[in-house]
Chains A and B, each alone.
Chain A
Amino acid sequence: MSNQQKRWKQFLAAENDGEQLEYSAKSPIAGVSRRTFLEVLGYSTVAVTLTGCRAPEQKIVPYLREPVEFTPGVASWFASTCGGCSAACGTLVKVRDGRPIKLEGNPDHPLSEGGLCAVAHGMIFGLYDPDRLRSPMRGSQPATWEEIDDEILGKLSAIKKSGGKVRILTAPLSSPASRKTIQTFLAQFTDGKHITYQPVSNDAIRQAHLRSHGIAAIPQYRLEKAKLVVSFGADFLGTWIMPVQFTRGYAKTRSLTEGRREILRHVQFESIMSLTGSNADKRIRVSPHEKTQALLYLARLIAPSTDLLNAYEPRQLSVQTQEAVEELSRELLSAQGESLIVSGSNAPDSQYLTNFINDQLGNYGKTIELTPTLGREQSSDAEMVELVQQMNTGEIAALIVCGVNPVYDYFESQKFVDALKAVPLRVSLNSALDETSSLADYVCPQNHFLESWDDAEAVQGTLGINQPTIAPLFQTRAFQETLMRWSGDQRSFYEVLRNTWREEHFPQQNQFATFEGFWDATLQKGVFSLQQPANVSITFKPDTLSGAIGRLQSTSGVNSANELDLVLYQTTSLRDGRFANNPWLQELPDPLTKITWDNYACVSQRYAAMNGLEEGRVVRISNGAATIELPVHIQPGQHDDVVAIALGYGRSKAGKAGSGIGANAFPFVAFVDGSFRYSHLRVTLVPTASKVEFAQTQIKDSQEGRRLARELTLTEYVKGTESHHEEHASLWSPHDYPEHKWGIAVDLNACVGCNACVISCQAENNIPVVGKDEVRRSRDMHWLRVDRYFEGDRDNLRVNYQPLMCAQCDNASCESVCPVLATVHSSEGLNMQVYNRCVGTRYCENNCPYKVRRFNWFTYARDDAVANLALNPDVTVRSRGVMEKCTFCVQRIEEAKINARNEGRPINDGEIQPACQQSCPSQAIIFGDLRDVKSRVAQMKKSGRNYTLLDELNLRPAVSYLAKVRN
């Protein structure tokens, strides 16, 4: 039969065959129904649980008794004084629900004028430092104050009877009241003495002035009055005496706003690359020895009449240095009384010669005010050395150490340790169990300055008040009160302070009739300025000139090939190492090297090339007595005969964050005719086999010929340059800004790169610290960074700084790529980053040309209850896997908007200040509303120097820069 039929049959058969049925019958009905049942059950359970979901129970605990003048959730501000160093800048302390959470500059303070340095911003962390001592200690055992007081009082009375020597060793105290307390305490002993000790000392200035003017004091340098400042290695913008005040004055005289055409000229002679040198208009790279010779030569050219100097021949000066000095001398002579010479050396002779030159130029009384000032009643380096000798011979019956750490930073540490052993009664008033405290019989921890009353007179006539903004967190006590207890005075230091003010300062003023009025006003303002006493004009005493010149001429530079001249310097973040346990400061990149969490031996490019050293190669530095191992950092702009090492590292007992970071270079400090020396130190340098990788936040040094951080010369500027900025067409329709359009202008001419803004931002915005390894993986979290570029050749190196925060672009490349709308444009021109919406694709990070976005790679440590008290409650703490970035401090913007609206008024220009702007010592960052044509920022952006970064991308950033101008 045919295939057709066959197939037909088969289909027919297929239709009525029983197989289908058979199979379904076989299928396990029960099983099916059970599964189905389970499915349904599953779904219903889910539904039930969803509705049943409850968050854990939260407690809410109100006050028992309502405190007066306090609203929960509203921050209150207290004017106070920074206790970070003896410069005593004015601060405003932000207190939120009883916790100080931020330090800001006090604009009313006559010296700091609203500026603060990075260290000051770090102080907040210091308050909540988990490594602070929480109770007094006997040896290493916690004890109560009563026990300690009894025991110590007993021992002291014994000393009183026996008439033993008692010494109190403190840092230079700018507080008259505290000094007075110490004196009253010491008065009860037959031989009591207060000795101040400064590990990185500028005693030479005081010695020199004692010789030259008969006043052992550090004068007031008034940069704002100078037209030409010449610095011989003084890092006055970074770490020298009062950096914030100097930066403020420097920025003022260099500012080109309101149409100024002539600005301060700055010439720097230095052997290492310092923050100050990097800002100089003319920087002459000299060896420490050459620096002295240049000073001598300058003196000769300035004062040809002085026959002492005519003999001097600048043999040892290189040709270009010689020419530079000659040119400089001409400039100086034409700027008499408007110039200023400063020297960073701690050699009395150099300082003496500096005074001589300043005197010849008639700068005293003009740019230098020799009113007895900072560091009156400060003891000399020699006295410290003497003290150690006395301790060694066992003359000292009791030593009370307060706020200094000689075991770590005394140049002959071992000698001090041995001497300490010879002292019967060793008491430490330091707030942590540091190197010195751990060797003391008793540790009586003092309060953090934010917990205590104090005053400060860094400059005569400027009286700062330091008021407590929180009750002591732990069982600590103000060191003044401790001393008062031990002299049988049961009052609080607050009373003593008030009395001192009532008796000493109140009579000196005539503004206020009653003391209460005077006190309250001062307390509110944070500072009170007495009318300056007449500028005492004291004539220069040339009698020791010849000796000085002779000694200076006799100095010699490095002679042998393998010998190097060691220069010890301080970094802007760690200074002398007091704050080594502050992770914020440890992670703050050095302005020049951009290295964090480490110190290192800086050598010049040529030296490295000649000796086959590469970046990170560990070398052994030795002067015979002391030897340390440090990695090499190749530093452009440094002199070839010089190796530079930062002090303040290598703490052994700093705490969790600070111990064992870097190596301690204090053992290299020398003590030569009566003062500590930090340069002219001969060392040898031997490479080792090992090599380390630095935790560096910026690896590339040059701008690759891209015009990023722009600068022009003064003449170019005066000739007048048009704004480089032209509007490009855009496919996107422009945003509508009905109310505000926030913007920032950064004046690169003002910015000195001090990094204060970085820490201010970190404190304000709860930015986590990630640690050395993570920085090494280029995962630093700073929202605001200061880019640093080196340009030009090794002999005249140009350094440019460029602070970079989120530019809040109008055509933001980040906004278009986020799939979940976690970063969107606000009606006020901000790129809002919504942390709780972010899923972490990191696409925005890739697509951001400024690379200002930061990603939370891990859950960063927030486990320490005490350290968490420093968090700003107005800013969300970001979780793992979330992108974050600068918000222009939107929490401040919102707060200001709400206040303005509640009061039914517009927001005033300058009312909102982001953390970076608020305490910038040079006021380089200006924030404001661009829709308001009269606003300061809008005015700044009109300047011919104004340009936007990567303009060609047409992102229309709200942040623009004003080009730097070199004079």
Chain B
Amino acid sequence: MAVSVTQPEVLATAKPEAVADLLPSNGLHPVYSELRKPLILGNKSNADVTRDICQLLEPKPGLGWWISLSVSLVLLIIGVVATVHTVNTGIGTWGLNKTIGWAFDITNFVFWIGIGHAGTFISAILFLFNQKWRTSVNRSAEAMTLIAVMCAGLFPIIHMGRPWLFYWVLPYPNTRGTLWVNFRSPLLWDFFAISTYFTISAVFWYLGLVPDLATARDRTKSRLRRVLYRVMSLGWNGSNRTWSRYETVYAVLAALATPLVLSVHSIVSFDFATSLIPGWHSTIFPPYFVAGAVFSGFAMVMTLMILVRKLMHLEDYITPQHLENMCKVALLTGSIVGLAYITEIFIGLYSGNPNEIFVIINRGLGPYAWAYWIMFGCNALVSQLFWFKKLRTSIPAIFVLSILINVGMWFERFVIIVTSLHRDFLPSSWAMYTPTITEVGLLVGSFGLFFTAFLIFLRLFPVISINEVKGVLKYAKQH
């Protein structure tokens, strides 16, 4: 007898202990504990969850989605134009000069890498710490990570004088008497760190997606989607064995991914820390950068989640409580960043090294002081506002603050790169930097790419991890 398509979740995604909830539930019971708030509101049954999430994929997207997509596509096109212009004409189309070799390009790169930290942090580290609330956000956070890392990956290539030769950075056998690459160069470490990080995150994200893809496969009406989901769900059947294997692998991957969260941005920070430019050459960079990355990452997750829950009507799944938790993480990491700023100033002034001292003064009072104070205000100070529960729980407030934080974090990278370079050892070669329209175009374009990809993700894959959310439905229920 063939299985009816009416209740496929039984076949595909029901975990053994979850079967009881298949019984139709009347809205009244059960009673909630006084102590624990439910993570998922609206007293959902497993069936409700499946339905809620999967029905986001099927129907024609709403107006909101279309508007957002067209806007981000416009930005993306701007970015493409800027890139083509750069590659055709040369890096001269940017505002760089003999003294300042990096500015917007690497700023954007580090910024996006930073954004890319929240996802794996949420899915791996919070998983290991058994934070149940992660379940409703981890899926989209991970997607965001992947997309952000892609955006980041573009810049090191575009910023090259001869981007068509970027593959020379890879160590591969060649006819040059085998000429290898320079393993002393942080740029090379970057390449390895980022590609590893991307791979693991991608696998991790995909693995978490498999059961839900199976669900989608069994529910979908569209031919195309069915083929896609069929291929991608790798013939998932919800057998006990599959589930247990799945859980094991997931845990292992989580363990694998965790150190990467810390390693990637540490290594990115080596680009600066291992050089000798005052303001770059600093030992606190790795922890400082990692904290900053998680900070900006969470800010971006919050921004996105607030949009998503509005756009896709997921208020029940992504609750103020989730946002509040993320605010707490942002508060912690933000404070670390603030501490790092102060430490930096202290080290600089205490070092007795005239160049170091000069850099600190030049940052705070020099021609780029405005950038420095934007950075300081938006990161060190704004994050402190999350001490107030009122702000932590008010969605609009969080939305504004999270955006401010990302502005601040972008400027952090800008300040580190430009203010250190533009006035270094020899006053004779001091110079100023002003971005060109092309560089702005690239920045805008990266956002275009980011949002376009994210919006497509929203339509293509279950935006919330169905199977994991089902796991936390009973959270806070009494038995």
Chain A interface residues (CB < 8 Å from chain B): 3, 7, 10-11, 13-14, 17-20, 23, 27, 698-706, 708, 774, 777-780, 785, 787-789, 802, 804, 813, 816-821, 837-843, 845-847, 849-851, 853-859, 879-883, 950, 953
Contact = CB atoms under 8 A, between A and B. Distances in A.
B99 A778 contact: yes
A548 to B, nearest CB: 45
B427 A703 contact: yes
Contact of A849 (B161, B354, B425): B425
Given A789-B428, A856-B161, A843 B91 contact: no
6 contacts: A10-B3, A703-B427, A804-B428, A813-B276, A851-B426, A855-B91
Contacts of B95: 777
B162 A838 contact: yes
Nearest to A20: B235
Contact of A839 (B99, B166, B186, B425): B166
B168 A854 contact: no
A856 B97 CA distance: 10
Interface string B153-167: 000100111110110
Interface string B403-425: 00000000000000000010011
Nearest to B169: A819
B168 A839 contact: yes
A838 B2 CA distance: 64
Contacts of A851: 98-99, 424-426, 429
Nearest to A952: B353
Closest 4 CB pairs of A and B: A840-B161, A881-B161, A857-B92, A842-B101
Interface stretch (B117-125, B175-183, B336-344): B175-183
Interface string B233-245: 0010101000000
Contacts of B19: 3, 7
A24 to B, nearest CB: 10
Contacts of B100: 846
A846 B185 contact: no
A858 B430 contact: no
B102 A820 contact: no
B181 A819 contact: yes
A524 to B, nearest CB: 43
A883 B11 contact: no
Nearest to A703: B427
Nearest to B94: A857
A839 B161 contact: yes
A838 B427 contact: no
A842 B185 contact: no
B224 interface: no
A780 B429 CA distance: 11
Given A789-B428, A843-B101, A843-B102, 11 more contacts: A11-B237, A701-B427, A708-B427, A777-B97, A819-B169, A821-B182, A839-B162, A840-B162, A842-B101, A853-B98, A880-B90
Nearest to B272: A846
A820 B2 contact: no
A855 B97 CA distance: 8
A838 B161 contact: yes
A11 B241 CA distance: 12
Contacts of A785: 428
A748 to B, nearest CB: 14
Contacts of B191: 819
Interface in B111-163: 156, 159-163
Given A840-B91, A855-B91, A698 B101 contact: no
Nearest to A880: B90
A880 B166 CA distance: 15
B275 interface: yes
A846 B421 contact: yes
Contacts of B166: 839
Given A698-B429, A837-B168, A845-B101, A818 B182 contact: yes
B47 interface: no
A960 to B, nearest CB: 16
Nearest to B22: A3
B429 A857 contact: no
Nearest to A950: B425
Contact of A699 (B3, B101, B160, B430): B430
A386 B299 CA distance: 84
| Interface of B: prevailing SS | loop
B456 interface: no
B187 interface: yes
Nearest to A701: B427
B184 interface: yes
Contacts of A701: 427
Interface size class of B (residues with CB under 8 A): 35 or more
A847 B277 contact: yes
A855 B90 CA distance: 11
A845 B90 contact: no
A27 B231 CA distance: 12
A813 B180 CA distance: 19
A843 B162 contact: no
Nearest to A856: B161
Most chain B beta carbons < 10 A, residue from A704, A842, A849, A882? A842
Contact of B11 (A10, A789, A847): A10
B397 interface: no
A373 to B, nearest CB: 40
A881 B156 CA distance: 14
A568 B401 CA distance: 62
A879 B162 CA distance: 9
A882 B161 contact: yes
A857 B95 CA distance: 10
Given A19-B2, A699-B431, A856-B161, A881 B90 contact: yes
Contacts of B271: 843
Given A700-B430, A850-B425, A856-B161, A845 B98 contact: yes
Given A703-B427, A777-B95, A859-B90, A13 B165 contact: no
A881 B180 CA distance: 21
A629 B262 CA distance: 61
Interface string B62-104: 0000000000000000000000000001111001111111100
A819 B182 contact: yes
Contacts of B182: 816, 818-821
B31 interface: no
Contacts of A856: 90, 161
Contact of B276 (A10, A13, A788, A849): A849
B4 to A, nearest CB: 11
B284 interface: no
B457 interface: no
Contacts of B206: none
Contact of B275 (A777, A821, A847, A854): A847
B188 interface: yes
A708 B430 CA distance: 14
A10 B181 CA distance: 57
B187 A817 contact: yes
A785 B99 CA distance: 14
A819 B185 contact: yes
B10 interface: yes
Contacts of B179: 821, 837
Contact of A855 (B1, B101, B277, B426): B101
B169 A858 contact: no
A779 B98 contact: yes
B399 interface: no
A708 B429 CA distance: 13
A881 B421 CA distance: 20
B162 to A, nearest CB: 4
Contacts of B227: 27
Contact of A842 (B1, B161, B430): B161
A858 to B, nearest CB: 4
Contacts of B430: 699-700
Contacts of A700: 427-428, 430
A820 B176 CA distance: 13
Contacts of A789: 427-428
Most chain A beta carbons < 10 A, residue from B89, B162, B277? B162
Contacts of B186: 817
